[in-house]
Amino acid sequence: MEPLNLDDFITRIDRPDTGARRDAVDWRAGRSPRAETLGKLDELGLWLAAAQGSVPVKPVERPKVVLFAADHGVAALNVSANEPGTAVRFARAALAGESPVAVLARRFGAGLRVVDMALDCDPAELPEDVVKYRVRRGSGRIDVEDALTREQTDQAFRTGMAIADEEADAGTDLLVMGDLSVGGTTAAGVIVAALCGTDASVVTGRGGSGIDDLAWMRKCAAIRDALRRARPVLGDQLELLQTVGGADLAAMTGFLLQAAIRKTPVVIDGVVGAAAALIGQRAAFRAPDWWVAGQDSGEPAQAKALDRIALEPLLDHGVTSGEGLGAVLALPLIQAAAELWSALPELPAVRDAAVDDIT
């Protein structure tokens, strides 16, 4: 197998169809209600037209939620309100259809897929189709050791690419990406701080678990220590993922970039997804044109990353639980935009002019 070369993504990823976007602007100008009166619905309609290369826009009929699951070794420092090595509980709840993201995905007509990248559990505890891509059991403690080996990093990255291909081949027309992790926001904070050139305290949030002040200080210290290990490898995105990321972050980065190659739009959730997107932008500057951020999670690292990528969250509902929930909450808004941009009626003046031409 040839070694990964992220420079290849620069030439392989095109921007969404600019011609379709121009046609969509003209199409919308003759529709009711008048252009720019639908706010984010109009913004999303333009984005979908370019991503689909279609005017009018086609309805979003086959969305899929893909959740990458992993335990992070840094959780042993008690940086999360969840016990280290317990992300398997989130995976089981999602697979059983009982977690919030699973309930809403079902309600909104989206399929759901859980991918075990590095859960700290016996593989026999989960279905074969969930664990078959696992890279390792848990990750290294990034404040003192690498999260992964280089071989594991490449394997995880390629897994993300393969899953994006599988979904595109299956006809998925919108991907919703999230994570199921314990310690994931700490690793994400390190990546964002490293790539944005800022300090640990600026990116350290309370995480989806809602940690107390003492845990926040431990998390800040862990990010500070991991940052010392991250800064020397900033020039190599794969080495950065190997050193302070994890199998879920590596897979999500590969997933985002391959989805852009396959011209499949993605909704990103939370700080872990934002960190993967930030690395993806470093690899291919056109790739973020294929992504939208589902919601503002309240995590300072997410805000920092999205600002650098120039993505504005669609929603701000104060949902901090992670697990893909914020991205799924944005799904009805995107579906509404697609429906409207597929069937908005002509403005009365346009219709009257057409009748005058005939008479």
Tokens standing for 202?
């600026």
43 is catalytic: no
What gap in Å lies between CA 54 and CA 59, rounded to an integer?
Answer: 11
Q: Which of 3, 70, 2, 1 is nearest to 238 (CA)?
A: 3
Exposure class string for 82-119: b at 16+ Cβ within 10 A, else e: bebbebbbbbbbbbeeebbbbebbeebebebbbbbbbb
Q: How many angstroms separate the first and last alpha carbons of the chain? A: 68
H/E segment holding residue 343: helix 331-343
How many residues are recorded in the chain?
359
Under 8 Å between Cβ of 189 and 271: yes
Per annotation, catalytic residue among 61, 323, 339, 346: 323
Q: Which of 323, 251, 304, 238 is nearest to 67 (CA)?
A: 323
Under 8 Å between Cβ of 236 and 6: no
What gap in Å lies between CA 211 and CA 194, rounded to an integer?
Answer: 23
Three-state secondary-structure class, residue 358: helix
Under 8 Å between Cβ of 60 and 356: no
In sign, the C-alpha dihedral spanning 224, 228, 231, 233 is negative
CB count within 10 Å of CB 125 equals: 13
CA atoms within 13 A on the CB side of 55: 18
Residues assigned a catalytic role: 323
